[in-house]
Amino acid sequence: MGAEELTYGENMRGVGGLVGVSVREPGGWWRRKSTPAKVETYTRWSFHFFAVTEVAAVGLPLFGAMPGWLTALLLVMLVGHAVTCAVVASRALDWTRGSREQPVHMLWTLGAVTVAVATTAIAITEHGPGGEDVDTAAGGIFAVVLIFGAGAIALGVRERKRIFGLVAGFAAGAGIIAFPLGMPGPATLATMVAVLLGTGFFAFTSVFSVWLLNAVYELDEARETRARLAVAEERLRFGRDLHDVMGRNLAVIALKSELAVQLARRGREEAVDQMTEVQRIAQETQREVRDVVRGYREADLGAELAGARGVLTAAGIDCEVTGEPAGLPAEVQSALGWVVREATTNVLRHGDAKRCTVAVLREAERVVLTVENDGASKSPGTGGSGLAGLRERLAAVTGTLEAGPAPDGVFRLVARVPVAVAEGVS
């Protein structure tokens, strides 16, 4: 992997029409999201959906079960509780991602709203209009607001002891509210157990969702770090090779130059021989530096294909390589090998790929290298020079490069090199 990067921003500017079509496609906004962003969006809307579920599950049965004014009162309180839960969930997730402070005031507000709604519901059950429908509807609200309230609050709490205390506190609170308002002892105990199990499950779901979201972001950061380390390692390798060549020869040049100066001061003819040797070593150094740079810039296509398969497979990306690079001229293999190297780097760093295919097709008068990967959803910006560098290398062998989005969320890079021309160049 080299220091230059093929940026999707440049590719997309070069194929503006295709990008415009992609943006307007249904569901394109979802495909453009990275995996962590998708998980975060899914988590947020799941908790918002829970708020809708809360209203639908115990709010709709109120109609026809009790007088209209009482139905309206409970429905307003229930909707207010659900909206508060959704707001707390959203702010708690923002806090999890570090974009805002812990929403302590909202957590206390939700706790107070939960107690108010639960107390009103159990009071109606024990002292409101009689009837089995009334008891069932109000009792459902009592249990559901406690369970959903505890689950939303758990999103804004990190310590395990506090989570356990939250669950136990809501279960105990159910008894503290219900028993003094006239609920029989056995029924109060059964209610406490039901609330304990419900709040425990919902709180566990909330904690697990936060853990999963953080884990996905950490894995994505680790993948990007690994790609950056690979680039840094390649730079270090080049630096070591250059140091090995330059360090030794420059030391010899310095010694022989010093010796030539001393001989020249004494009028000795050997000074000319020493300077001739310095000239020879300098020329040899130039040649060795060119060899080092050529080795850094040239790449064996077969080795790069095998390396790409290994690296992508290790990253959890299904990589399929087809075609046989044997028999291609060295210049063609070097140019296409660099294309494979850069494409692999960008699949790891800038995409969200699950599958990648690399195909080498030898036609009558040219060779075509195609690299396709799905999940090309994240543009790294427009400051890279990888695309220009690849075109420069391919131009040396009269090759061309095409890169840009393809249908079905696929990013496609195609390099074509006329083999006959390349053989003439070599």
Rounded distance between C-alpha atoms, residue 191 and residue 354, angstroms: 47
Boundary of a domain, candidates 193, 220, 247: 220
CATH number at residue 291: 1.20.5
Q: Is residue 12 part of a domain?
A: no
Residues 62 and 182 in one domain: yes
pLDDT digits over 229-240, tens only?
A: 877 877 777 777
* pLDDT score for 29: 73
Q: Is residue 331 part of a domain?
A: yes
* pLDDT score for 18: 39
pTM: 0.53
* pLDDT score for 38: 85
User: For the chain, what is the mean pLDDT?
Assistant: 78
Residues 289 and 312 in one domain: no
Residues 237 and 174 in one domain: no
Q: Is residue 316 part of a domain?
A: yes
Q: Is residue 225 part of a domain?
A: no
- Kindly tell me if the per-residue pLDDT of 411 is higher than 60: yes
User: Predicted confidence band at 74 (pLDDT cuts at 50, 70, 90)?
Assistant: confident
Residues 354 and 246 in one domain: no
Residues 134 and 184 in one domain: yes
* pLDDT score for 14: 42
CA distance readout (Å), 63 to 72, 74, 109, 157, 407: 9, 10, 28, 36, 50
Boundary of a domain, candidates 220, 246, 276: 220
CATH number at residue 323: 3.30.565.10
Angle between helices 132-155 and 185-265 (to 10 degrees): 20
β-pairing, 400-406 vs 366-374, is unpaired
When pLDDT is averaged across residues 391-409 and rounded to a whole number, the result is 85
Residues 351 and 275 in one domain: no
- Kindly tell me if the per-residue pLDDT of 25 is higher than 70: no
When pLDDT is averaged across residues 42-49 and rounded to a whole number, the result is 87
When pLDDT is averaged across residues 70-81 and rounded to a whole number, the result is 85
Boundary of a domain, candidates 242, 266, 297: 297
When pLDDT is averaged across residues 413-421 and rounded to a whole number, the result is 83
- Kindly tell me if the per-residue pLDDT of 1 is higher than 50: no
Q: Is residue 117 part of a domain?
A: yes
User: Predicted confidence band at 248 (pLDDT cuts at 50, 70, 90)?
Assistant: low
Rounded distance between C-alpha atoms, residue 46 and residue 209, angstroms: 10
The residue ranking higher by pLDDT, 220 or 320, is: 320
For residue 346, which amino acid is it? N
Q: Is residue 107 part of a domain?
A: yes
Residue 159 backbone phi and psi in degrees, to 5: -65, 140
| pLDDT-above-90 percentage for the chain | 7
Q: Is residue 5 part of a domain?
A: no
In the numeric block, which tokens belong to residue 425?
């160049």
* pLDDT score for 148: 87
- Kindly tell me if the per-residue pLDDT of 9 is higher than 50: no
Residue 418 backbone phi and psi in degrees, to 5: -70, 115
User: Predicted confidence band at 108 (pLDDT cuts at 50, 70, 90)?
Assistant: very high
| pLDDT-above-70 percentage for the chain | 83
Rounded distance between C-alpha atoms, residue 209 and residue 214, angstroms: 9
Residues 276 and 378 in one domain: no
Q: Are 91 and 105 in contact (CB under 8 A)?
A: no
- Kindly tell me if the per-residue pLDDT of 21 is higher than 50: no
β-pairing, 410-418 vs 366-374, is antiparallel
Residues 46 and 194 in one domain: yes
Residue 81 backbone phi and psi in degrees, to 5: -65, -40
When pLDDT is averaged across residues 367-375 and rounded to a whole number, the result is 90
* pLDDT score for 377: 56
Task: List, in order, residues 6 or more apart from 49 with CB less than 8 Å away.
Answer: none
* pLDDT score for 27: 57
User: Predicted confidence band at 131 (pLDDT cuts at 50, 70, 90)?
Assistant: low
The residue ranking higher by pLDDT, 174 or 259, is: 259
Residue 168 belongs to domain spanning: 34-220
Residues 245 and 210 in one domain: no
Q: How far is residue 18 CA from its own chain's centroid?
A: 24
Instruction: Give the count of domains, the chain.
Output: 3
* pLDDT score for 282: 87
pLDDT digits over 322-352, tens only?
A: 988 888 888 888 889 888 888 887 787 766 7
User: Predicted confidence band at 10 (pLDDT cuts at 50, 70, 90)?
Assistant: very low
Q: Is residue 101 part of a domain?
A: yes
Residues 70 and 193 in one domain: yes
- Kindly tell me if the per-residue pLDDT of 298 is higher than 80: no
When pLDDT is averaged across residues 126-132 and rounded to a whole number, the result is 67
Residues 323 and 417 in one domain: yes
Residues 315 and 243 in one domain: no
- Angle 74-75-80 from CA coordinates, rounded to 5°: 100
